[in-house]
Amino acid sequence: MLNDIQDVLREYKGDDELTVTPETSFADLSLDSLDTVELVMSIEDKFGVSIEMNGDVNTVGDLMTAIEKAKQA
């Protein structure tokens, strides 16, 4: 899953070298709240899930947890 998220982020940032870990925050990547919403939309399309955005998705790890939850829902 981390690799898939990394792919989405690479495409979003236009940076093929970008590497992320679960600890990477969206702020570290200079992404604001609007970017995060747009990214979550891409992730939803990619994983075929619907993620509830409740303000605590700040890091790649948070996003992975949210996707897991959405998959189980």
Enumerate binding residues for another protein (CB under 8 A).
13-14, 30, 34, 37-38, 41, 50
Among residues 7, 16, 32, 45, the one annotated as catalytic is 32
CB of 1 to another protein, least distance (A): 22
- State the Cα–Cα distance between residues 63 and 60, nearest whole angstrom: 5
Amino acid identity at 61: G
Q: Which is nearer to another protein, 27 or 41 (CB)?
A: 41
For the CA atoms of 8, 12, 13, 17, the dihedral, rounded to the nearest 10 degrees, stands at 30
16 included as an active-site residue: no
The residues annotated with a catalytic role in the active site are: 32
